Amino acid sequence: MKRRDVLRGALAAGLAGPGLAALTTTRNDIDAALAADHTNPDLSYWENTAERYGYGYHGQAPADVLADLSEEVAALKPLLLVPRTDRDRTTLSHVTGRMTGMIAIVLHDLGQHREAHRWFATAARAAERSGDPLLHSWVLGREAMVPLNYGAPQAAAQLAEKARHLAGNKPSAAAVLAAAVASRAYAIGGHRDQALEAVTAVEKLADQLSPQQHADTWFGYPMQKHHVHMSQALTLLGETGRAYEAQRAALELSRAPSLMTRALIAIDEASCRVHDGDREAAVGIVTQAYGGLPAAYRTGLTRTRALALYRALPADTPGRTQLADALAS
């Protein structure tokens, strides 16, 4: 518990110095352990742990979740060095892929895209060793969101297409996620036809998922997440009517959307308003959404999106100064 509190404090201070060094050490140890050929006994605790964390933030600050996940993965590391059967090796690799993948997701959300890539590489290695192509596809699909959200849409599209290939043609949460990320990457890159093709694929696959595949976890593809992805893709494509519908649906499907989700949807709405010529309303929406976030959430992805919209607005846009103040705070 003391180690977790120290790590939590270091991570909350900005993912610099000791906090990031501890994360790097843990990741390197996991990589080394995955390269070994040993075994592990009872894994039910770790399967349950991976499932529990898969339900997301649940109102917790990302830095707090990262500290908890890092502690769990550090405890998981020694188990990778114990001799194990082929079946246990497969199970442990699967759990490791999920746990390290979730760390990568939180790092991405916190704006630590380089470190996120490193953790996704570890997760992909574990997923490959598990022999589960859908887990491997999920890891690559989630990793594609890093370059997608931080200025490299071509790299994102390439990763998303690899994920689509691994997932195959059968409906699965991983397949829909990969197609959704591809649609956004193509839209950002200006490849309208490919983006629309991917949107069509997403909508077709999403309708065929089972209730289990629609589970509201980081590993499922809930309809709220679907509408969030479609909001972004359609916003980027200038399909504002369909984008507004996706935004409304995303909010209606959850009684309490996460702070980050609500902010990102609001920023999409503001971008649609800019496209439709109502820049003043757009500034008001994004200023309220971003400025109203707790300090722990005004970083990473929300800041990147809000800043991109701010920079796209002409200098004489009414209210732009207030948005600048919110970003500066």
For residues 14 and 111, the answer to whether their CB atoms sit within 8 Å is no
Q: How far apart are CA 229 and CA 224, in angstroms?
A: 9
Q: Residue 304, exposed/middle/buried by CB under 10 A (0-12, 13-18, 19+)?
A: middle
Q: How far apart are CA 141 and CA 167, in angstroms?
A: 10
Q: How far apart are CA 118 and CA 20, in angstroms?
A: 12
Walk along the chain (329 residues) and give the pLDDT tens digit of each residue: 555 666 666 666 665 566 677 778 788 878 877 765 544 457 889 999 999 999 988 878 889 999 999 999 999 988 888 778 888 899 999 999 999 999 999 999 888 989 999 999 999 999 999 999 999 999 999 999 999 988 899 999 999 999 999 999 899 999 999 999 999 999 999 999 999 999 999 999 999 999 999 998 999 999 989 999 999 999 999 999 999 999 999 888 765 567 888 899 999 999 999 999 999 999 999 999 998 888 888 887 889 899 999 998 888 899 889 999 888 87
What's the pLDDT score for residue 14? 61
| 22 and 116 housed in the same domain | yes
| Domain end (from 79, 104, 131) | 131
Per the structure, the count of domains in the chain is 3
What's the pLDDT score for residue 34? 74
Domain that holds residue 142: 132-223
| 117 and 149 housed in the same domain | no
What's the pLDDT score for residue 61? 86
Q: How far apart are CA 318 and CA 283, in angstroms?
A: 8
Any domain includes 288: yes
Q: What angle do CA 34, 39, 40 make, to 5 degrees?
A: 105
Give SS3 for 151.
Answer: coil
In total, the chain counts a number of residues equal to 329
The token duo for 18 is 């000791």
Token pair 């599209």 in the structure block, residue: 157
| 153 and 105 housed in the same domain | no
What's the pLDDT score for residue 146? 93
**Residue 185: which residues within 8 A CB-CB, separation 6 or more?**
144, 147, 148, 153, 154, 156, 157, 160
What's the pLDDT score for residue 301? 81
**Half-sphere exposure (Cβ direction) of 99: Cα atoms closer than 13 Å:** 27
| 187 and 268 housed in the same domain | no
What's the pLDDT score for residue 3? 59
Any domain includes 174: yes
| 8 and 127 housed in the same domain | yes
Any domain includes 32: yes
| 165 and 203 housed in the same domain | yes
| 58 and 94 housed in the same domain | yes
**Residue 65: which residues within 8 A CB-CB, separation 6 or more?**
53, 57, 106
What's the pLDDT score for residue 142? 97
What's the pLDDT score for residue 265? 93
What's the pLDDT score for residue 39? 47
Any domain includes 253: no
For residues 166 and 195, the answer to whether their CB atoms sit within 8 Å is no
